[in-house]
Structures are given as structure tokens and as C-alpha cells.
Amino acid sequence: MSQVAPLKVCLRLRMSAHDGHYAGGLVDGARMLQLFGDVATELLIRHDGDEGLFRAYSSVEFLAPVYAGDYIEVEGHIVRVGKTSREMEFEARKVIQPLPRERGGLAVSSAEVLSTPVVVCRARGTCVTPLELQRKQKS
């Protein structure tokens, strides 16, 4: 595998009430993995011109809870490129969260931008793009 120039992809979205799977609107950790998969797909399209396939995660760390109403920023980049494999690293951060009345919110719609984003999940994984589907020219 070879080192590559940093190609980063970033998504930012709000966790909806639909994402809240457990009591108190807690979001299932699998939702972060789904978002990492979306980032991986875009990385592969930008790198190879094809969506490729996610092969495996080599590590996943769930570091902080995510709740409905949180804004999550998900970033990923390719760290190594093989003939068909692409090793990637991912990080999900909470950047905005609801601000309940007991913490100073004025209404149920109150929210706060976090001065320091909270890392909620990190992962490393490998994706594969078959040779016959690689359409981008490498420099």
C-alpha cells in the first residue's frame, strides 16, 4: 500500500427524532457507522470514479453519546492505497446540541454551538474498488 495526498470528505447533518432509537432520544451507534459508509462512498467516487465496497472495519470507538437534535460532522480520509484496497480513517464530532431550559434554553427549539466539538466516534476501515471499475487516472 502507498501513502496518498490527503483527500478529505466532510458531511454535517442533524440527528432527527427518527434517529433517536433509545430512551431520551439516544441515537444508535450504528448510525455513525452508516455515516462513515456515506463518507467512504464519496471518497471512493472522488478517488476511483466508482462507489466501491466497504470491506471491513479494523477499529471502532464509541466515545460520547449522540442524541436526536445534535448536529454531527463526519469526516473521513484515505490513508493508504493498494491495488484495489483503500484504507480510511473516520471521525464523527458533535458540533451543535439542543439547549434544554434547565441549562439556559429559552424554548424547546434552543440550541448551542459547541466551542469545542465533542468527538463521538472514531473508526478505521478498508474499502475495495475492483481494478476493472477504477476509472480515475492516478498521478
**Region 95-106 average pLDDT:** 83
Overall fold of domain 2-133: Thiol Ester Dehydrase; Chain A (3.10.129)
What confidence score (pLDDT) does residue 139 get?
45
**Alpha-carbon gap, residue 94 to 96, rounded angstroms:** 6
Domain boundaries, the chain: 2-133
**pLDDT > 80? residue 131:** yes
For 32-46, the pLDDT digits (tens) are 999 999 999 999 999
1 — pLDDT class (breaks 50, 70, 90): low
Span 108-119, mean pLDDT? 93
Q: Please report, as a single letter, which amino acid is at residue 81.
A: V
**DSSP assignments along the chain, one per residue:** -EE----EEEEEEEPPTTTEEEGGGEEPTHHHHHHHHHHHHHHHHHHHSS--EEEEEEEEEE-S--BTT-EEEEEEEEEEE-SSEEEEEEEEEEEEEE--GGGT-SSTT-EEEEEEEEEEEEEEEEEE--GGG--SPP-
At 7 the pLDDT is: 84
How much of the chain exceeds pLDDT 70, in percent?
Answer: 94
The pLDDT score that the predictor gives to residue 85 is: 96
How do residues 50-80 score in pLDDT, each as one tens digit?
A: 999 999 999 999 999 999 999 999 999 999 9
Q: Average pLDDT of 87-105?
A: 90
Q: How far is CA 15 from CA 12, 23, 132, in A?
A: 10, 15, 37
Average pLDDT taken over every residue of the chain: 91
